């Protein structure tokens, strides 16, 4: 169960803690039935929430362990929330955000909002209310600055030949490094898996998936080596103490000598009595 939770936590590329367990059995090296039991145990223990109808799951402690301190992370979380098909998980995500005030996100009008912008907007609304009692400043739409920043981000989007998506110069640099460090086949397989799971193959996500697969391969390799070593130990003859073997050989020799003496004694002819012994009788 712990291996499955680690694999999900490390492999979760969503910015809101959702995950589609595509290829999870292959990554963990577990049988499908064993994996299903492990997921059920994790859900029963409260570590994750699943929606069987969509095949999605949500890490219950995601917003406790992750923070959103800049506007870019907020935009990523907002975009990933739109990709969640499960209505149940959307509600669970909003509830988890509300329960973790330190994550940097808040819920306003049943939508995610960046805590910094929400505080500024609330302050503006408060000032406006003091100036014009009864006036209402709508908070359903993002600020002009937020919209312009999002538009600039969208204009810079690019899909590289390797399949990695980039949004800015930092992403381009990270993508080039990944394309240098890993083979084209590995990157293509990872980007396709992310796309199939409904996740944008950004450089950070692609790198995390590559590192995850490498760690899981290392785990499987060590487990295989440990099983092979255990099999060798079971098939090998038990180790013997030299002193014990020596004492056993000594006892065996004494037993052989005793058997030889008994055998010689039993095969000797009986002794005839002497004439003097006959007279005495």
Tokens of 52: 């069987």
| Domain-located, residue 161 | yes
89 touches 58 (CB < 8 A) = yes
64 pLDDT tier (thresholds 50, 70, 90): confident
| Domain-located, residue 191 | yes
| Domain-located, residue 131 | no
Q: What is the pLDDT of residue 176?
A: 92
Q: What is the mean pLDDT of residues 174-187?
A: 90
| Domain-located, residue 244 | no
Q: Which residue has the higher pLDDT, 142 or 237?
A: 237
Inter-residue long-range contacts of 147-151, CB under 8 Å, 24+ positions, other chains counted: 149/71, 149/75, 150/75
Q: What is the mean pLDDT of residues 268-273?
A: 58
pLDDT tens digit sequence for 244-255: 778 888 888 888
Residue bearing tokens 């919209």: 147
| Domain-located, residue 204 | yes
Instruction: Give the helix ranges, DSSP H, for the chain.
Output: 2-11, 24-28, 32-44, 62-65, 71-82, 87-99, 115-131, 144-155, 169-181, 184-196, 203-235, 242-267, 275-280
- Give the whole-number percent of the chain exceeding pLDDT 70: 75
| Domain-located, residue 175 | yes
pLDDT over 60 at 10, yes or no: yes
| Residue-averaged pLDDT of the chain | 76
| Domain-located, residue 136 | no
- The sign of the CA dihedral 187, 10, 36, 16 is negative
pLDDT tens digit sequence for 73-118: 788 888 888 888 888 888 888 888 888 888 888 887 777 777 666 6
Q: What is the mean pLDDT of residues 186-197?
A: 82
pLDDT over 70 at 133, yes or no: no
24 touches 209 (CB < 8 A) = no
Q: What is the mean pLDDT of residues 207-231?
A: 82
Instruction: Residue 179: give the domain boundaries.
Output: 156-218
Q: Which residue has the higher pLDDT, 213 or 178?
A: 178
Q: What is the pLDDT of residue 178?
A: 92
Q: What is the mean pLDDT of residues 236-263?
A: 76
For 93, phi and psi rounded to 5 degrees?
-65, -45
Nearest to 18 by CA among 73, 70, 96: 96
120 pLDDT tier (thresholds 50, 70, 90): low
pLDDT over 70 at 269, yes or no: no
Q: What is the pLDDT of residue 7?
A: 76
Q: Based on the structure, what is the number of domains in the chain? A: 1
| Domain-located, residue 165 | yes
């Amino acid at each position: 169960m712990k291996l499955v939770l680690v694999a999900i936590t490390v492999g979760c590329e969503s910015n809101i803690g959702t995950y589609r367990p595509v290829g999870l059995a292959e990554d963990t090296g577990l049988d499908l039935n064993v994996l299903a039991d492990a997921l059920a145990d994790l859900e029963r223990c409260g570590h994750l929430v699943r929606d069987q109808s969509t095949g999605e799951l949500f890490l219950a402690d995601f917003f406790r362990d992750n923070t959103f301190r800049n506007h870019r992370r907020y935009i990523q979380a907002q975009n990933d929330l739109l990709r969640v098909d499960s209505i149940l998980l959307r509600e669970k995500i909003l509830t988890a955000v509300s329960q973790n005030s330190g994550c940097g996100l808040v819920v306003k009008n049943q939508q995610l909002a960046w805590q910094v912008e929400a505080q500024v907007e609330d302050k503006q609304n408060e000032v406006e209310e003091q100036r014009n009692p009864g006036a209402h400043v709508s908070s359903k739409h993002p600020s002009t600055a937020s919209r312009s920043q999002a538009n600039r981000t969208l204009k810079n989007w690019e899909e590289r030949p390797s399949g990695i998506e980039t949004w800015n110069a930092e992403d381009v640099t990270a993508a080039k490094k990944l394309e240098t460090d890993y083979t084209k086949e590995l990157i293509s397989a990872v980007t396709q898996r992310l796309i199939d799971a409904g996740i944008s193959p950004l450089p950070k996500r692609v790198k995390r998936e590559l590192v995850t697969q490498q760690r899981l391969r290392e785990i499987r390799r060590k487990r295989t080596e440990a099983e092979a070593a255990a099999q060798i130990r079971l098939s090998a003859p038990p180790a013997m103490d030299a002193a014990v073997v020596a004492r056993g050989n000594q006892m065996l020799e004494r037993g052989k000598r005793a058997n030889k003496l008994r055998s010689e004694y039993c095969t000797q002819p009986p002794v005839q009595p002497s004439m003097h012994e006959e007279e005495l009788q």
